[in-house]
Every structure is written in structure tokens, then in C-alpha cells.
A = this chain, B = another copy of it.
Amino acid sequence: MYEELKYWYLRDHKLFRTLSFSQIKQLCIITGFKKASKGEIIYFSSSDVPRIFLLKKGNIKIVALDSNGNETIKDIIQKGDLFGELTLETDNKNEEYAKVLSDDVAICSFLMSDFEDLLLRNPTLALSYTKFVGLKMKRIKNNYANLISKDAKTRLYQFLKDWAEQEGVREENSVAIENYLTQNDIAQIICTSRQTATQLLNEMETNQLLNYNRKEIIIRDITKL
């Protein structure tokens, strides 16, 4: 790939806007770029050198295996999001991997050590990054707070609202979301059983709150959720 293209892939993330071409290039920050398609699994395992990833296109889910071998969805990563060890701490024993949800994805990655060097030389970037991580923390906290204190229905409503806000195409009060999740995925995200999720979604459909199918979700009136 042309260096310039690599550059732009990073450059259009708001974190990196303050950096010049030479800074990115000079620091050899782009060391990887890959494409993957639906269902593929991407390991960022401990065996490899620690990396930070940037999702340029598509959607993936971060999945962890618990001691019983059950999949748990840790996070849904969307276009423009950074993922991997954002804490800059190498974690030895985590059984996490990423699974591609959308038809195809494009992922940039760079070495954590390179990134650390860059942060050390660019205080402004370091500050931005700190705020970025902080923001992510806040989002996670809020999500979890919802999971714990609200019932399954409220959680589903909240999730749909968030999803609509992030990715939905609004027209008047109705919002269309490209649905790359299965009902099982949704259930896992809102921490409930698949059956309950199905039931709630169908209930919403009969109540004219939304139209659901495997390709698309249309929320009739987002203000009523």
C-alpha cells in the first residue's frame, strides 16, 4: 500500500489530526493493515507483540471466554474506534478475541511501544488520548450501571436508543439502523437470555414501536422509546 494511503487512514481519526505526515511516518507508527470478512476471528493474543488497533471500516465484537467456555460480549467496536489494550498495559492472561460482524472490515494496527514513544514526544496527543480513554471509561461505566439497575426491557430500550444515535439514519422521528447483530448478540450485549430478547423484540413489533428483520431495524418513533 502507498504510504500516503496508510497515512490518511490514521489521519482521519480525530486523535491523530494534530500530527503531521512526517510524524506518523517518521515514527513508523503504521505497521499493519488488514482486511477481514464476516465471521472471521482476530486474535490479539498475548503471544504476539502488544498492539493497538483502529477499526477503519465495519463492525466487530470483542468477545471473552469465561471459565465455562461461554462467550461473553465485552464490547462492540464501530468504525473509527480504537481497541486492544488501550490501557497501555500488557495483559498476560486474557482470553479475548475480536469477531467480525459486518460483511467486511478494515483494521489498522500499530505497536504499543511505538505509540508510547509518540505519546512521550507529543504531549498534546497524550492529553487527547488520556481524555479519549477517560471518555471510554465513562461510557462503559454508564452502560454497566444500566445493566445492573434496570430490567431487561429498559436495557433493551436503552441499547436501541444508543445504537440508533450512533449509527442510525434518522428521518423525522423514525430511525433506520443497519442490523448486523443477531438476536443472540443483542441478548448478550444487554445481558439477558436469547429467549427474553426475542420476546421483547416481538413485543415491540406488535406494539408498533419498531420493524425488525435480519437486515435492518426501523424504530418508528425514537422519541417514544
Enumerate chain B residues within 8 angstroms of A130, measured Cβ to Cβ: 87-88, 119, 126, 129-130, 133
The answer for the CA separation of A126 and B130 in the assembled complex, in Å, is 8
Q: Is A17 part of the contact surface with B, judged by Cβ < 8 Å? A: no
Q: Is the interface of A mostly helix, strand, loop or mixed?
A: helix
Residues in B whose Cβ lies below 8 Å from that of A131: 87-89
Asked whether any CB of chain B lies closer than 8 Å to the CB of A144, the reply is yes
Residues of B within 8 A of A86 (CB): 134, 137
Interface residues of A (CB under 8 A from B): 66, 72, 74, 86-89, 91, 116, 119-124, 126-127, 129-131, 133-138, 140-141, 144-145, 147-149, 191
* A146 nearest CB across to chain B (Å): 11
Bound complex: CA A116 to CA B128 (Å): 10
**Contact B116–A127 (Cβ < 8 Å):** yes
User: Besides A74-B141, A86-B134, A87-B137, 5 other CB < 8 A contacts?
Assistant: A87-B131, A91-B138, A119-B126, A126-B130, A137-B137
